[in-house]
Structure 1
């Protein structure tokens, strides 16, 4: 009995060691129920380019199919990554090898799915299936540029584990109410670019309810203006959203956006408000406290006031574009404090006065555009002519127009006398060098022949040999010519 008990104990220990061995519990092959779901999903699509050719009975393991990834532990499908690849046959216009058709509800069988990417396919103006909101484990959803239309289903707000949502470039898609976003408490990346949000009046309040949001792209969304506040120090919702990237370009926003931006003054690195109707001046409180901001684009935003001195307080800026507005007045000297700035574009405004000397302190500046203004005086010569064109009163290199001071200096008698003296000096040294060269060359040869008898004898003997050789050559050639003429 004792021996049998010992054998049982030993067998149990061996089994325990085998189970603890790494990789022993690894599941191979996919789950049949999920495999059938994928096949059903494929039947709803038109695969013109054979992207799903690996999906079939020839390969029973669906975890090996293109775009499919399974969990090593459970075998469940966790990723369906099927963005349409670009067609390499087209060199200029990018054409994608898109799947067409509709998304089958069979995807609901993939209840462990965390990643779904169907971007750049063509779903022919269909609506986004509301049942996608039931895939509760979803963390990454990309349906961008996929020709979806109609209204974004509010059921997407049920994806409480979602980290990234991209519905951009579905030009027929709209959403009249963004309140469903407030339930996505884990969302870090949101891109709704080119989705029609013209009726989303309270869009800013919905954004304020996303406590984890870092990246927000709402360009060309027809966003309506935020209702204005009477006290600039207030912010809509007092949000603690840690936004780092914010693109609101190409909308209908006005200056009422500035107080809302204060919510992100300590976190923003990238801010694009171009192609809006901001109007008026740039408030000192709007950007002066954005100590971390590295990228600011305000071009084509209908700004029509002076550039505030506080613009120099944004010491972290590397990119600043406020071109194509109606800004007037002079360029403030404080721009020179932005020593990290590598791109500065103030073109197509109505700026006057001279270019501040402090611009020379901007050691990182690689791109400067001050063209099409009313600037005057001289400019930095370290940039090309395109940086300054369209300023009739600017002068000096690299421009062709000379400055008044240079003309006076050039036309003054003193300047002419100095030039004449310099020219005469140059002529004198030329003649001196020619004379010295003649003296050295002539006497170097002739002096040697006069003083050395053997060299003189050899020299004249050499000349006689040359004379005899030339005579013989000429005589022979003349004889040949006479014979050829006689024949």
Structure 2
């Protein structure tokens, strides 16, 4: 074209050159102009700066650090503008650790399409009502931002919205979700963790959302509903986990486009409909942790060629699949069939799922040895749970696997504990028959291994001294074995260890230094042969200790006063040792016993005379047990200020003196045992305030006086007071005298008033009389007047003795009957 114009003459050529030059000049001018002016509109820039004023962040790299008044707001972090109009259309401040208030100046952003304030902390403020006036919004994300209160129904005005995420705001609720029905363009709705327990007719409101593809309402306390009412929205994801649904599942033919069906942790019963096998688009099926039963056949799985994850655990299903069945799917994620009946043979069809990453077959009725190539087939497996079966055999070297989690507990596995890969995080081999924990296990180099439990096995010999290579270990349970020798010193390198249990072994020698393990919350060394003094560093360094059990060892010496520094202790058990000296008078510094704790693992405790296991209930227990030692001296008065104490056992010692008068201040006591000591004096009247007392033993002491009147104290059997010969009153005796002495003492006093001090006095009187009789007998034969006087005296004496003897016999019979 240019050649044609040029051939037309010089005039046309000149005109063309001029036009080109003009275009170039115009373009250069526009480029220069864009470098000197802001694309951001002034009103919106000021609105954003005002919005910034209400927010704070402790994170130095937050988005607001780039918001400066001298810069174009379209270049600020988290901001995007329309390239043609300059209007702000995106505000993304997620994951910025922001707190403060959300200023209504955002209303100036009238063309805002995307607003994301998720993963911040707005301190429990309500979701601002004015957000419902941002009419151009297409995506609104407020998840995990610590909002509270009711969801404003004004959000129903956002007719252009296609994504709404209000999830993980636990203090947000909505009693009426009718406003959702107005969001006709909505395709994604996530209100998980929002309290919808009072929401009525919510399925009807959701059924109007014809564009909805993903619905996530887990942990919403949703009331029960017929799920078939949801089948009109063409759903691809239905997540209703952790709610209150009950009854059986409806037919699922209406959910033909489903990719994810997540219904775990409800109360659903009945069988799994066979129509689930027609959902050819299904990629994830999770109905675990319900109350479902019935038989799973090939019909349930026939068309699920796209299935990647199958979770049926925690139900009562019987898996009846042919041993030659060839699955239509190749799982790439999870296969979880725990508590389903699979065995006794290991299913062959599972061996074909070689790409799974999680295999959970706990309590599945599997017995015998695993298939020969089991450990070589699943090369992508990182989580394995075969616990609570009857699997036998030995484990091979597993150091080349990629396991993170291995749970083989409660089986019949034997031999040596093998080496594991450096990726391992969790290992549970408890309740098996492993016998060796030495060289092979020490070959493991797993710095991220946080949990080891190999308790209740047949491990013997000395514990290997290689624990320094498990620097990330937090929980170690090796109890109920036959381990002996000294506890290895390398345990002291586990600086982040929180729970240590070596109970029920044969460890001997002194306790090695664990003073660098300052995160310890539980130490259980019960039933070993450990000796020496209780280390002072326990109270000086382990200041977060909540559970200390040194019961049934050979510890000696006095109780170190440093134990009084254990301000968070809940269970202190030093019983059945050789501890001497007195109780520390600073025990009340264990203010004790006022901190609530939760230990995820079950721990054992002698409670009310019975060995019991406590899990989360341990937070209610505050116990001191120093029984069966050689303690001397008095019970210090300071102990009575431990008002949160629920159990105290000081029995089987040599304690003396009186029970502190203010003992009743420990009003939370449920169990008290002071038996088999040498405690004297009376039972304090304050005992009548121990209204929660259900176990009491004060027997075999030197207590005396009246048992205080109180509903609890009289409800116990008399045996709890036996062996205290000076005690009186119910339930030991019917009553006491006014001065608090026993009825036997009163009887003796009455005898004194009658001239008969004792049975010995009576006997001596008779003997004296007989002796006198024979001395004067000769005189009576010689002189008649003496003989007359003597026989008269004898008759009078006989009458007097008869009367007194009858009275004394009656009183003795009454006393013996009592």
TM-score by length of 1: 0.67
Give the match for residue 259 of structure 2.
269
* 1:21-420 equivalence runs, <5 A: 28-49=38-59, 51=62, 52-57=64-69, 59-85=70-96, 98-227=97-226, 235-236=228-229, 239=232, 241-259=233-251, 261-265=252-256, 267-285=257-275, 287-313=276-302, 314-328=304-318, 330-331=320-321, 336-342=326-332, 343-360=334-351, 362=353, 364=355, 367-376=358-367, 379-384=370-375, 388-392=386-390
Query: Residues of 2 paired with 1:178 and 1:216: CA distance?
Result: 14
Query: Residues of 2 paired with 1:356 and 1:66: CA distance?
Result: 54
| Paired residues of 2:216 and 2:240 also in contact (CA < 8 A) | yes
Tell me which moved more, 246-255 or 272-281.
246-255
**1:303 match: secondary structure:** strand
- Give, in angstroms, the shift of residue 25 of structure 1: 10
C-alpha offsets along residues 76-100 of structure 1, whole Å, 9 cap, x if unaligned? 1111111133xxxxxxxxxxxx222
Query: Residues of 2 paired with 1:179 and 1:332: CA distance?
Result: 49
Residues 17/61 of structure 1: CA separation in 2 closer, same or farther (3 Å cut): closer
Unaligned runs of 5+ in 2: 1-10, 377-383, 396-410, 415-818
- Give, in angstroms, the shift of residue 360 of structure 1: 4.8
Tell me which moved more, 306-315 or 181-190.
306-315
| Paired residues of 2:124 and 2:147 also in contact (CA < 8 A) | yes
- Give, in angstroms, the shift of residue 137 of structure 1: 0.9
| Paired residues of 2:248 and 2:270 also in contact (CA < 8 A) | no
- Give, in angstroms, the shift of residue 256 of structure 1: 4.9
Residues 370/123 of structure 1: CA separation in 2 closer, same or farther (3 Å cut): closer
Query: Residues of 2 paired with 1:65 and 1:269: CA distance?
Result: 38
C-alpha offsets along residues 240-271 of structure 1, whole Å, 9 cap, x if unaligned? x2322222111112345534x54322x11122
Query: Residues of 1 paired with 2:298 and 2:90: CA distance?
Result: 52
| Paired residues of 2:248 and 2:269 also in contact (CA < 8 A) | no
| Paired residues of 1:225 and 1:257 also in contact (CA < 8 A) | no
Query: Residues of 2 paired with 1:49 and 1:397: CA distance?
Result: 51
Residues 23/279 of structure 1: CA separation in 2 closer, same or farther (3 Å cut): farther
| Paired residues of 1:331 and 1:355 also in contact (CA < 8 A) | no
**2:299 match: secondary structure:** helix
Residues 47/389 of structure 1: CA separation in 2 closer, same or farther (3 Å cut): closer
- Give, in angstroms, the shift of residue 357 of structure 1: 4.2
Unaligned runs of 5+ in 1: 86-97, 229-234, 403-487
Which structure's residues are more often strand, by fraction? 2
Query: Residues of 2 paired with 1:254 and 1:22: CA distance?
Result: 67
- Give, in angstroms, the shift of residue 56 of structure 1: 3.5
Query: Residues of 1 paired with 2:203 and 2:253: CA distance?
Result: 13
| Paired residues of 1:312 and 1:336 also in contact (CA < 8 A) | no
Query: Residues of 2 paired with 1:151 and 1:320: CA distance?
Result: 36
Give the match for residue 449 of structure 1.
none
- Give, in angstroms, the shift of residue 205 of structure 1: 2.5
**1:279 match: secondary structure:** strand
Query: Residues of 1 paired with 2:268 and 2:198: CA distance?
Result: 20
- Give, in angstroms, the shift of residue 64 of structure 1: 2.4
- Give, in angstroms, the shift of residue 401 of structure 1: 7.5
**Root mean square deviation of aligned Cα:** 3.5
Q: Which has the larger radius of gyration?
A: 2
C-alpha offsets along residues 201-238 of structure 1, whole Å, 9 cap, x if unaligned? 3222333222222222211111211148xxxxxx4265
Query: Residues of 1 paired with 2:388 and 2:323: CA distance?
Result: 22
**2:80 match: secondary structure:** strand
| Paired residues of 1:340 and 1:364 also in contact (CA < 8 A) | yes
Give the match for residue 760 of structure 2.
none
- Give, in angstroms, the shift of residue 280 of structure 1: 2.1
- Give, in angstroms, the shift of residue 150 of structure 1: 0.7
Query: Residues of 1 paired with 2:159 and 2:32: CA distance?
Result: 33
Residues 164/24 of structure 1: CA separation in 2 closer, same or farther (3 Å cut): farther
